[in-house]
Structure 1
Amino acid sequence: MKIFILLFALVLSSVSYAKSERFVIKSAIIDESPTIQVSLPDTYSLSNSSSYPVLVVLDGSTQFQHIAAGNQFLSTYAIAPEMIVVSVSTLKRMLYFTPTEHEQFAGRSGKAHLFKDFLNKELLPKLQEKYRVAPYYMITGHSLAGLFTSYLALEKSSLFNAHISISPSFWWDDKALVKHYAGMKRDHLTSPKRWFLSIANEPGEMSESYQAMLEALEANKIDNLHWFSKSFPEDTHDSTPLVGNATALKTIFNDWNAVPEIDVMPLKELRQYYKSIVADYDYEFKLSLHQYNVYGLKAAYEGKTNWGVEILEQGVKDFPKSEILWDSLATAYELDDKINQALSASKLALELAQRNDSIFTSEITSQNKYLNSINASK
């Protein structure tokens, strides 16, 4: 029953209202001026100081929407961090997504190093200039773009921390990237990188070259490379990005959620937990609005109301304009038999909801009426 109540309460924060923006980069590195589309987290405007990791989506014209929506859903329940999701596409995929020049495609392939430089020197600095970007970068690609993200995973000069390669084209140029990996030295990478690879129901050179890469990964262990492989036999090459990217986010961040089950922690232990995984990610994640909401409500509903109150009180300090956190804090106060504080928090939640024309106004109004009825009956 408690789990049902908790899930119902979390529904308040599960609806996305993220802001999307577009701009053009006139590149001096690649022979294109890509249109960049950015989906900001739905909590971005609720704080002036919180920064967010970046997830770059290649072939964004077809892959951006479902990946952005998937991240927003998973982050709502603290399964993955909230991210600034960025779409970028190139018309010259063979040229810029292939790390070697194939003799059959001379002059039309082998310029992945230029696209890497475009990302490192033009796209990421532009994002840092325009948005509150945290120094944790992810990139996802499918097919030839998956070959490119695989290439980046093995490049120590790449700025990306985590990589998603959905049905990567390892067959390219007689499995050139597989052979390149097989010859790498154990100490090639100087900082941690996470790499998710997947394959669908794809016979022939796709599956054969994918298996060759897995065998190379097993045979040659590289320090600091944390790789994960999944198979989706019920999907095709074209359908697999939908399930593949959602699974990739859950897999790469499989140990990121401090309390994935019904267990709870006080605020101090939550902070210690995220310090303890810095070595794995090469980054210390700060608690997001959704994490404060999830962890605080979990603690309150599991009988640790003092923990829940403490977590949510810190949450409204970091995100003072969030009607959701103030409403959840009112719930925690009421469960902790602090009705006057609950009413104060609920009143502020309602004021914020009405001021911002929040889609949660009716739920927040209901809680406010309920708390007033309890107070009147005393």
Structure 2
Amino acid sequence: MKHSILIITFTLFTFCANAQKADNITIGKIETIYSKPLGENRKLWIYTPDITSKIPNPQKKYPVLFVLDGDTHFYSTVGIIQQLSQANGNGILPEMIVVGVESGNRLKDFTPTLNTRGSLDSANPFVKFLATELMPYIDENFNSAPYKLLVGHSLGGLIIMDILSNYSNLFNAYIAIEPSMWYQNEKFLKQNINTLKNQNFDNTKLFIGVANTLPEGITLSLLKNDKSIETQHIRSTFKLDDFLKNTKIPGLKYAMKYYEDDDHNSVPLISEYDGLRFIFDFYRLNATKKDFTEASPAIVAKLKTHYDIVSKEMGYEVSPPEALIKYFGYNALGKKQFAKAEAFFKLNIAYYPESHKVYGAYGDYYATKKDTANAIKYYKFALSMNNDNIIQNKLNVLTNQNKFSLTENELEKYVGIYTIQPYEIDVEFYLQDRSLWSKVKGQKAEELVPISPNAFRLRNKKGYTITFKTNDNKIVGFTSVQPNGTFNAVFKN
């Protein structure tokens, strides 16, 4: 039985998915750039994963998916990628930047130029725009990784086949949906076939989606012998498919799917979904229930091996997210699976040696094992990199055991209801048995233990701290640091 990996499990607070500030749901922005080859402005619809991520990472670099006719296909493309890379802990696809390129004159943009193999000087102006202006612009202004994809529909699929055939080093993967190979009496189909015969690719992938555009009375079995104009579009696509399936082209991995229940206009969504699943068939970590329940650290090696494979496929180093490794480490630590927990914490140090948090987490490991000397050692090392108040508080606890406490009267000032922003989740803090407790509706109450003025830890949870904020000696909110992220709240009443 295969289980998807849930990156985030909230213990103290449960937040609504993908909440956004104010009352707006935002999935991107529109930018305009001027193109010299096109001689006009072109609008770009841009989505970046941090917009919808629960754990934004400003340093992370992302593959870039360019989609033609962006004003038409942007929403569905972003939806597929966000669902399969973020929602419900999915890791089927990598998170990606999406760049939707608005259409201008589609015939002008998407009609290839004959016999221009490899030469951008004589290429279609739109191809020049992509290669010499748009792609450098995205690389300069966004956290883009080297892996690039191109998606196009209809005439957009035609220009994709031209780019694949003649400028193969521009993109790593292509999705051509209902490509108009019939155009100009299949002139460009013939050119593509002649060019591709002699091409060598470097781990390039192509997916073609074909809709059911058969006229009434014609079946696929009859299509090959049909010569009518009504079937030329689908016949030309199957000619291309026949060539690609029966010709060994070094370095090109190809797949096609025929969608009997979709027409030319409905097929883009399902084609993109299947195309992305085909392109990134290596990306998902297939873990068993045993990997997560047993004390053996075998899954640590599996995780590392998996990301080595991902890195090879993507052509650059891809590391498992720091937050993911940290979560697994604390999860094992909470179960007292010490060998497994230590393996995860050490793996995080290996991947992210410049992050002070990985050393603080390793300190938590030693503190849980009551190895005070090593816990202090790693807390101090983390603090030498970053003056983190949370880690400092943990160090204070170890070096001043049982010396800090608050009276019931001193705890009284923290009592009240606080709202976590921007999620609008209320947390109640109250006194019980001379201790401070927190409660979120529908969840188990948690006892807080003071570790320094205005700072607390959870009694039964490692890696969870709450630091209250003051203004004129009044409590105005708090910051909660958890294995899965940092969250802020304001005092409500």
TM-score bracket, shorter-length normalisation:
0.7 to 0.9
Distance in 1 between the 2:266 and 2:208 partners? 15
Unaligned segments of structure 2, at least 5 residues: 21-25, 115-121, 215-230, 292-297, 376-389, 395-417, 428-437, 450-457, 462-493
Q: Could you tell me how far 1:67 is from its partner in structure 2?
A: 0.5
Bigger mean CA deviation after superposition, 202-211 or 125-134: 202-211
Which whole-Å deviations, capped at 9, do the CAs of 1:10-54 have from their partners, x for residues lacking one? Answer: 996963756522221110111321011211103498323211111
8 Å Cα contact 1:181/1:216 also seen in 2: no
Amino acid at match of 2:234: S
8 Å Cα contact 1:170/1:177 also seen in 2: yes
Bigger mean CA deviation after superposition, 78-87 or 216-225: 216-225
Amino acid at match of 2:191: H
Q: 2:320 aligns with which of 254, 265, 287?
A: 287
Q: Could you tell me how far 1:215 is from its partner in structure 2?
A: 0.7
Classify the secondary structure of the residue corresponding to 2:40. coil
Aligned to 1:257: 284
Aligned to 1:235: 262
Aligned to 2:28: 20
Bigger mean CA deviation after superposition, 22-31 or 152-161: 152-161
8 Å Cα contact 1:47/1:319 also seen in 2: no
Does 1:46 pair with 2:46?
Answer: no
8 Å Cα contact 2:178/2:210 also seen in 1: yes
Aligned to 1:325: none
Does 1:94 pair with 2:111?
Answer: no
Aligned to 2:78: 68
Classify the secondary structure of the residue corresponding to 1:126. helix
Which whole-Å deviations, capped at 9, do the CAs of 1:294-334 have from their partners, x for residues lacking one? Answer: 977998999978546755883996998x9xxxxxx9xxx9x
Q: Could you tell me how far 1:139 is from its partner in structure 2?
A: 1.2
Q: Could you tell me how far 1:202 is from its partner in structure 2?
A: 1.4
Superposed, which structure 2 residues align to 1:107-146 within 5 Å?
A: 113-146=124-157
TM-score in terms of structure 1 length:
0.74
Is the strand fraction higher in 1 or 2? Answer: 2
Q: Could you tell me how far 1:58 is from its partner in structure 2?
A: 0.8
Superposed, which structure 2 residues align to 1:184-263 within 5 Å?
A: 184=195, 188-203=199-214, 204-259=231-286, 262=289
Is the helix fraction higher in 1 or 2? Answer: 1
Does 1:56 pair with 2:66?
Answer: yes
Classify the secondary structure of the residue corresponding to 2:41. coil
Q: Which has the larger radius of gyration?
A: 2
Bigger mean CA deviation after superposition, 303-312 or 27-36: 303-312
Superposed, which structure 2 residues align to 1:329-340 within 5 Å?
A: none
Aligned to 2:434: none
Distance in 2 between the 1:260 and 1:186 partners? 40
Classify the secondary structure of the residue corresponding to 2:319. coil
Distance in 1 between the 2:236 and 2:18 partners? 41
* Number of residues of Structure 1 aligned to a counterpart in Structure 2: 350
8 Å Cα contact 1:116/1:152 also seen in 2: yes
Distance in 1 between the 2:110 and 2:419 partners? 47
Higher normalized contact order (CA 8 Å, seq sep 6+, divided by chain length): 1
Q: 2:423 aligns with which of 345, 359, 374?
A: 359
Distance in 1 between the 2:168 and 2:343 partners? 42
Q: Could you tell me how far 1:275 is from its partner in structure 2?
A: 2.4
TM-score in terms of structure 2 length:
0.59
Q: Could you tell me how far 1:259 is from its partner in structure 2?
A: 2.1
Which whole-Å deviations, capped at 9, do the CAs of 1:88-147 have from their partners, x for residues lacking one? Answer: 11221111112147xxxxxxxxx9632122111101111111111111111111111112
Bigger mean CA deviation after superposition, 147-156 or 355-364: 355-364
Cα RMSD, aligned residues only: 4.6
Relative to structure 1, the CA distance from residue 81 to residue 308 in structure 2 (aligned partners, 3 Å threshold; closer, same or farther) is farther
Q: 1:37 aligns with which of 45, 54, 59?
A: 45
Identity of aligned residues (%): 26
Distance in 1 between the 2:70 and 2:448 partners? 49
8 Å Cα contact 1:20/1:37 also seen in 2: yes
Relative to structure 1, the CA distance from residue 202 to residue 312 in structure 2 (aligned partners, 3 Å threshold; closer, same or farther) is farther
